Amino acid sequence: EHKGPVFAPPYEPLPSKVKFYYDGKPMKLSPEAEEVATFFAKMLDHEYTTKDVFRKNFFKDWRKEMTSEEKSKITDLKKCDFTEMSEYFKAQSEARKQVKHERIANFRIEPPGLFRGRGDHPKMGMLKRRIRPKDIIINCSKDSKYPEPPPGTKWKEIRHDNKVTWLVSWTENIQGSIKYIMLNPSSRIKGEKDWQKYETARQLKKCVDRIRAQYREDWKSKEMKIRQRAVALYFIDKLALRAGNEKEEGETADTVGCCSLRVEHIKLYPESEGQEFVVEFDFLGKDSIRYYNRVPVEKRVFKNLQLFMENKEPEDDLFDRLNTSILNKHLQELMDGLTAKVFRTYNASITLQQQLKEITNGEDNIPAKILSYNRANRAVAILCNHQRAPPKTFEKSMQNLQAKIDAKKEQLSETKRELKSAKADLKVRRDEKCKKLVEGKKKAVQRIEEQLMKLEVQATDREENKQIALGTSKLNYLDPRISVAWCKKWGVSIDKIYNKTQRDKFAWAIDMADEDYEF
DNA sequence: GTAGGCACTTAGTACACCGAAC
DNA sequence: GTTCGGTGTACTAAGTGCCTAC
């Protein structure tokens, strides 16, 4: 779009505290002369300003902008001191760099298309409408400039609500739910909330024994409602199940969480594979990811489950006297801020910390330590049932890696043979050249062994990770201070664990935690 | 208690991107 | 220059949990 030429902004005089010195004395310049002087000051760090031609030309042109009074005073460039001006500009550009413009997470409005949904979704294929300016609510501070809507259109509303964090919202037509534009995870507001979340989970650590004792006691309660609550809480704690809010039938895929489990989702085995009181879970959870697990439970839990299932059809609720609201109300009484999801955060983070303590070996080299970290991370991902589809290229890339390992092994034995013969030569000849050769080969063997080890570690790591997604727990469940502390303790660079985006998101933790941080 | 509204976190997938290998 | 393979990011659906009105 042609808008005509854009002019440089007018010159803004320097603040009076920033002085130009001539012959050691401060001197106030006219605006015209000052402007040209600032050009020079801004370039002061560059080596051109030491070149005779540059200095001569600058001085000549500068004098043209001076008043006659200035011209008569300022006659020698060597006597000019621009350092204060230069410092000022440096400080300013530094300050500009420091100004944090909070990044926005999703600034593009979702485009129209056909709704897919996840799993067996009753609304798949429905048209997702185009969002227009008249659908958009903008939330900003009263004194801020908000963007104008495209010509000929209007925003739905301009709102100034500082109790919420969203910047833009609209209502989507498939479920009728509200969508938002919010800030990036690296923003102050999200970081503080994240921190708070982990602090609540640490609170739970302090009283989890008491809470566990209580729900075990409640397994014996006379009241059905309390028994159900206690068994559900046991599952949430032990198995890191989600709360399980009710969902409107026909609106979404049929998935469940703890409180919404149905009789058909569990099977009871008084005895199975040498274990007593085994419960088999098989249901679709969030995103229609299958949760399948066989767990031995306490006898009391088992008996209770039998009781809950009595005279029920498979499609009946297992916990018919319970929902998330009842459960959370109870949790709130046990600890301030406690809800079902806090157990997931707590159990994930505490597992990471315990696993790291258990499996990190101080003698290991860096790649082996990172493998230990990934294994600890993996234990959490398994607990939280974070799955992924095996990558399409998995088999192939695994084969390629194996080929690399074989080649490396071959190279290693070749180099070992060379070392042997070099040693033999040294015995016979005993000269400096042979000695050097032996040393060189020794080093080579060592280097190749290290490379081989690294490849083997990589292969193990990748194989173990085939169907497990580590990212979700890393991003949402693991107190980043545990990882930061671990890195500091074992001298592993933080960027081996967190990429740039993750470091930005967890900047608060990287700042905060030292090597003996305890979750 | 329950139904709906709202604001926020948590989730897996597709694909863009980039450096290394060819 | 092209292909390959791995990583990081964008996208947006799908949860949780709180609040209010009845």
Tens-digit pLDDT profile for residues A13-42: 888 899 999 999 999 999 999 989 998 998
A114-145 tens-digit pLDDT: 999 999 999 999 999 999 999 999 999 998 88
What are phi and psi for residue A103, nearest 5 degrees?
-80, 150
User: Is the confidence at residue A398, as pLDDT, over 80?
Assistant: no
Do residues A205 and A347 make contact, with C-beta atoms less than 8 angstroms apart?
Answer: no
Do residues A339 and A325 make contact, with C-beta atoms less than 8 angstroms apart?
Answer: no
A387 CA to C7 C1' distance (Å): 18
Strand C: positions under 7 A of a protein C-beta atom: 5-19
Q: Is the CB of A93 under 7 A from strand C?
A: no
**Three-class SS of residue A295?**
strand
Q: Mind giving me the DSSP string for A192-217?
A: HHHHHHHHHHHHHHHHHHHHHHHHHH
Nucleotide nearest to A401 (CA to C1'): C5
Q: Is the CB of A231 under 7 A from strand B?
A: no
User: Is the confidence at residue A226, as pLDDT, over 70?
Assistant: yes
Percent of chain A with pLDDT over 70: 97
A324 CA to B21 C1' distance (Å): 54
Scanning residues 316 through 335 of protein chain A, those with a beta carbon under 7 Å from any atom of strand B turn out to be 325
Scanning residues 329 through 388 of protein chain A, those with a beta carbon under 7 Å from any atom of strand B turn out to be 341, 344-345, 384-388
Q: What share of chain A is helix, strand, coil (3-state, %, to 5)?
A: 50, 10, 35
Q: Would you give the distance in Å from CA A44 to the centre of its chain? A: 41
Please give the Cα distance from A443 to A123 (Å, whole number). Answer: 64
A288 CA to C21 C1' distance (Å): 33
**How wide is the angle at C-alpha A227 spanned by C-alphas A221 and A232, nearest 5°?**
150
Mean pLDDT score of chain A, rounded to an integer?
Answer: 90
Strand B: positions under 7 A of a protein C-beta atom: 2, 4-14
The first and second tokens of residue A493, run together, are 């660079």
Query: Closest CA to B6 C1' — which residue?
Result: A178
A292-339 tens-digit pLDDT: 999 999 999 999 999 999 999 999 999 999 999 999 999 999 999 999
Q: Is the CB of A200 under 7 A from strand B?
A: no
**Three-class SS of residue A184?**
coil
DSSP H or E segment with residue A482? helix A480-490
A156 CA to B12 C1' distance (Å): 33
Mean pLDDT across the stretch A168-189?
95
Query: Closest CA to B8 C1' — which residue?
Result: A165
Scanning residues 397 through 416 of protein chain A, those with a beta carbon under 7 Å from any atom of strand C turn out to be 397, 400-401
Mean pLDDT across the stretch A145-164?
94
Please give the Cα distance from A201 to A380 (Å, whole number). Answer: 15
- Dihedral (Cα; A19, A20, A21, A27), 10-degree rounding: -80
User: Is the confidence at residue A2, as pLDDT, over 50?
Assistant: no
**Comparing A465 with A261, which gets the higher pLDDT?**
A261
Percent of chain A with pLDDT over 90: 69
Do residues A477 and A343 make contact, with C-beta atoms less than 8 angstroms apart?
Answer: no
Please give the Cα distance from A493 to A247 (Å, whole number). Answer: 45
Mean pLDDT across the stretch A368-383?
91
Mean pLDDT across the stretch A103-110?
91
Scanning residues 143 through 162 of protein chain A, those with a beta carbon under 7 Å from any atom of strand B turn out to be 161
The first and second tokens of residue A179, run together, are 């969508």
Q: Would you give the distance in Å from CA A208 to the centre of its chain? A: 27
Q: Which residues of A are catalytic?
A: 477
Grade residue A4 by pLDDT with cuts at 50, 70 and 90: low
pLDDT of residue A136: 95
**Comparing A262 with A143, which gets the higher pLDDT?**
A262
Do residues A120 and A289 make contact, with C-beta atoms less than 8 angstroms apart?
Answer: no
Mean pLDDT across the stretch A171-187?
95
Q: Is the CB of A494 under 7 A from strand C?
A: no
Please enumerate in sequence order all residues whose Cβ is within 8 A of that of A172, keeping only pairs 6 or more positions apart, or say none.
Answer: A110, A128, A178, A179
Please enumerate in sequence order all residues whose Cβ is within 8 A of that of A315, keeping only pairs 6 or more positions apart, or say none.
Answer: A262, A263, A264
Nucleotide nearest to A325 (CA to C1'): C17
Nucleotide nearest to A107 (CA to C1'): C10
A89: Cα within 13 Å, side-chain hemisphere: 17
**Three-class SS of residue A25?**
strand
Do residues A237 and A343 make contact, with C-beta atoms less than 8 angstroms apart?
Answer: yes
Nucleotide nearest to A394 (CA to C1'): C5
Nucleotide nearest to A287 (CA to C1'): C14
Please give the Cα distance from A304 to A309 (Å, whole number). Answer: 9
Q: Is the CB of A332 under 7 A from strand C?
A: yes
Q: Is the CB of A73 under 7 A from strand C?
A: no
Least confident of A168-172, A353-357, A377-381, A443-447: A443-447
Where b means 16+ CB within 10 Å and e means fewer, A382-415 reads ebbbbbeeeeeeeeeeeeebeeebeebeeebeeb
User: Is the confidence at residue A50, as pLDDT, over 50?
Assistant: yes
Which contacts (CB < 8 Å, 24+ apart) does range A122-125 have?
A: A122/A250, A122/A251, A122/A252, A122/A253, A123/A174, A123/A175, A123/A251, A123/A252
Q: Is the CB of A192 under 7 A from strand B?
A: no
Grade residue A6 by pLDDT with cuts at 50, 70 and 90: low
Please give the Cα distance from A261 to A255 (Å, whole number). Answer: 9
pLDDT of residue A1: 34
**How wide is the angle at C-alpha A86 spanned by C-alphas A82 and A90, nearest 5°?**
175
Q: Is the CB of A197 under 7 A from strand C?
A: no
pLDDT of residue A19: 92
